[in-house]
Amino acid sequence: MHRGELFKGLPFHDYEQGKRSSLTTAIHQYDANTILHTPIEELSKHFEESYTVEPLLIKRDEMYADQPQEENVRERVMDRVWNEQVNVSNSYISFAVHLPFEGDTGLFGVEPSSRMYSMSQQMDASIVGNEIVLRYRVLATENANLESHYSHDIQIITTNADRLNQDLGRWNSQVAGIVRDRLNEKRTNASKNQTLIQSLKIPIKKRDDVPATYTIPEVQRKPKIVQTPKVKTYTPEPTLEAEEYENILTIIKDMALAMERSPATFAKLTEEEIRDFFLILLNGHYKGTATGETFNGAGKTDILIRHQNANAFIAECKFWKGQKKLDEAIGQLLGYVTWRDTKTSIVLFNKQTDLSSVLEKTQETLKAHKNFKSEYALKSSELEGSDTIFGYKFVHPSDPDKEIFLTLMAFQITAPDIQ
């Protein structure tokens, strides 16, 4: 945090609206099948714990100060008698007061609905670890009572912390009700969608005229799912093996290459229509079973493989519309993997003419993302060395000790007559 005033910046009303919007989005993006099959009490507890904000605790009784330092300074000041600048020697005392606290440091940038501030002096505060550090520099002739220089700042900080905690208390009291309402809405919509899907009762049939570049094998594959060890009653999340992950990516790549060879046809399609081509092909390779190990569409552009009501693989099909939209797609993808060890992909289609420039911008965007961790090398001979396929590791948004594998696959589908 920059040095200066505390509790100054984002008004609490805006902070609260942001928390409400984030909570609504998190529940909206949460997996529908999990919503249907998980007790509402468990889901409510998770979201309530995630969005309840712990109040700030200012430990005034643990306050301490650094050893004061004296310095002599030669400086120019205005002489009131002669009304001109003169050189004088002054002695200053510099010291810092440390005020320990507990809580989210980001709250010091939130302005409570009723804020106390100083009319007489500018506070020089900064956050260092779990301490508020207040710095002072006073003339040695004024150091008879150093306490008078910091006591008012301490009062302002503790008062504003108390007022912000009151605001947080009102927000926290609303969280449970908001969570319940949003979960019930999500469950109702998910139930309707599930009923609609089941009412179709139309099996997907393999085509006989599939081009050789992405031929569906006669033997149906079952994705290899590795179960992590169970702890007490915890149900482990499914993990897709690296070999199976890269096989899925290869299938997508072959389909996309076929689209590149017929740009006049595919360049006219929407993201959702292109997604449907991948779904048909993947269902031809991965036959659905009772455990849910099958590919299905979720939302508008998603491709996913499910196992025991959890996501093992998720992909997003997107047209290149600039770095901002790609960054939003990354955030959308990471939003789907909460609580999951998931391997993911963004399948990007470029309609512009300069694919090389687009590839540079995509890599910049991915590496600049706050959850980016490192690059990683794909091992499959079908994928390694590709100029348009890049592997990355991201930090899991809900667990910094877990990794998400994200593969960017870029393709060109600009028809000669489409600009």
- pLDDT at position 73 over 70: yes
pLDDT over 80 at 83, yes or no: no
Section 378-390 average pLDDT: 87
The string of pLDDT tens digits covering residues 35-66 is 777 778 888 888 888 889 999 999 999 999 88
Place 259 in a pLDDT band, splitting at 50, 70 and 90.
confident
3-state secondary structure 99-125: EEEECCHHHHHEECCCCCCCCCCCCCE
Position 255 confidence tier, pLDDT thresholds 50, 70, 90: confident
Q: Which of 8, 51, 58 is nearest to 171 (CA)?
A: 51
pLDDT beyond 70 at 172: yes
Q: What does the pLDDT average to over 165-183?
A: 93
What is each CA distance from 125 to 128, 132, 150, in whole angstroms? 10, 7, 11
Choice between 206 and 355, residue whose per-residue pLDDT is larger: 355
**Are both 178 and 224 inside the same structural domain?**
no
pLDDT of residue 407: 95
Mean pLDDT of the residues in the chain: 78
Give pLDDT, residue 216.
29
Return d(Cα 295, Cα 305) in angstroms, integer.
4
Residue 243 has pLDDT above 90, yes or no: no
Unique residue bearing structure tokens 């455990």: 291
pLDDT digits (tens, 9 = 90+) for 184-213: 888 888 777 766 655 555 443 444 543 333
Establish if 61 belongs to a structural domain. Answer: yes
The pLDDT of residue 144: 58
Query: Can you give the C-alpha Rg of the chain in angstroms?
Result: 29
The whole-model pTM stands at: 0.46
C-alpha–C-alpha distance, residues 373 and 392, integer Å: 8
Please tell me whether residues 164 and 210 are part of one structural domain: no
Q: Are strands 238-240 and 69-79 parallel, antiparallel or unpaired?
A: unpaired
Name the band, by pLDDT with cuts 50, 70 and 90, for residue 323: very high
Cα–Cα dist 140/143, whole Å: 5
Q: Which of 154, 184, 214 is the last residue in one of the domains?
A: 184
Assigned domain for 331 exists: yes
Paired with 350 in beta bridges are: 412
Regarding whether 130 and 76 lie in a shared domain, the answer is: yes
Give me the number of domains the chain comprises: 2
Tell me the mean pLDDT in the region 392-415: 86
- Asked whether 274 and 403 are in contact (CB, 8 A), the reply is no
The reply to whether 123 and 209 lie within a common domain is no
* Tokens representing residue 316 in the block: 């997003």
Q: What domain range includes position 55?
A: 10-184
* Residue found under tokens 């947080």: 168
